Amino acid sequence: MADFGGDDTEAFRGEARTWLEANFPEALKANPAAQMAAAMGGKESPEAKLWRERMGERGWGTPTWPAEYGGGGLSRPQARVLAEEMARIGARNPIGGMGVMMFGPTLIEYGTEELKRQHLPGIIKGEVRWCQGYSEPGSGSDLASLQTRAEDKGDHYRVNGQKIWTSGANLADWCFCLVRTDTAKKHEGISFLLINMRTAGVEVRPILLINGTSPFCETFFTDVVVPKNQLFGPLNGGWTVAKRLLQFERDNISAGLGGGSIGAPVQALTVETAAKDYVGLDETGRLSDTDFRRRVTEHLMEVHSFQLTVRRAADEARSNQGPSAATSIMKYAGAKVAQDRNELIVEALGANGLGWEGEAYSGPELAAVRTWLRSKGNSIEGGTSEINLNVVSKRVLGLPDPK
């Protein structure tokens, strides 16, 4: 039966409020970054660990996932109420990462009972970290040309090959990985394997990113033994599963890009604060630089309409079959919004937006520069803007392939 909210949902508000008041560590209130440390791959304080464990136990880090695997089992309206109640007290969801955003939803849709029982509880509790083994040197946009080979060895697959740009591979416990199981066919020769990163033969080398961090890696597989029960989806049928996962990925990335840059934990400077503090206001309280004022206004209008569209698309997706190819529109637009935001912030900072390190610059100024550099990747990760435009033209608008 459709759940449109109402009395039950409001009753749930009381339950959520009581539970949050009793379980959210007060000390974390002023520190959203600390609350999400584990999900962002950082070091967790004792309070943050406690908060993650409590939310994981309750299943509210994945509020709408099925209760039978440990998820919250909440309806959409209840999940919205939970989010409102958390926002009211400054609580952030401490459970995230690729397991929650990409692999988990795909596993719920396509997984066998055995794989769901094995992998969902660890994701729900925020105890197991996942990374994405899709891209290879030479296989990015043309992902289906991937060469990492999985050979059938009777009771297991033997995997050899290399992945690249594997975000968080150095911290991950497991990798959802695309491998070639048939060399005669392209798309129909790909399978989806779940690989334990602690297996012998898995080697990870971090790559330094332009903003000075190493969030992604080269990942090498040399004679890695993967039990056959870790095949997810049909043999040689991994491409369909992979595409579905990409829709969840683009859906999540675009939602994140609307509010803050992906890869930057918490943005200290917003366009508004940077403009007011660094460009300055005239006697009527408006930004003194008229051209900059016009561009900031245009940007804020675009952000607002983008966020409304993301929300509407999410509501539509829930009443249909989850995210669709239209997520490519959101990923494209979200990357642009995020990159425009970071350009405006750095421009507002002027000479203060040129710092890399040192005491001449404040912490928020240095963070703004690194976030701006990181935002260059927003139009590449999860499928480039050009590829997303191709998806929109083909799958959303139904246009023919260019000759």
- Binding of ligand FAD at residue 214 (CB under 6 A)? no
The only residue of 80, 380, 394, 396 in contact with ligand FAD, by rule CB under 6 A = 380
Quick check: 125 and 53 in contact, CB under 8 A? yes
Work out how close the CB of 381 gets to ligand FAD at its nearest, in angstroms, rounded to a whole number: 4
State in angstroms the smallest separation of the CB of 311 from ligand FAD. 25
Least distance in angstroms from the C-beta of 173 to ligand FAD:
15
Site string for ligand FAD, 108-137 (x = CB under 6 A): ------------------------x-xx--
- Using CB under 6 A as the binding rule, whether residue 381 contacts ligand FAD is answered as yes
Closest CB to ligand FAD among 65 and 165?
Answer: 165
- Interface positions, 308-347, toward ligand FAD (CB under 6 A): none
Binding mask 142-171 for ligand FAD (x = CB under 6 A): -----------------------xxx----
Closest approach, Cβ 166 to ligand FAD, in A, equals 5
Residues in contact with ligand FAD, shown as a per-residue x/- string from 215 to 244 under the rule CB under 6 A: -x----------------------------
Residues in the interface with ligand FAD (CB under 6 A) total 17
Does 44 bind ligand FAD (CB under 6 A)? Our answer is no
Query: Does the protein bind ligand FAD through residue 387 (CB under 6 A)?
Result: yes
Q: Binding residues for ligand FAD, per CB under 6 A?
A: 132, 134-135, 140-141, 165-167, 216, 377, 380-381, 383-384, 386-387, 390
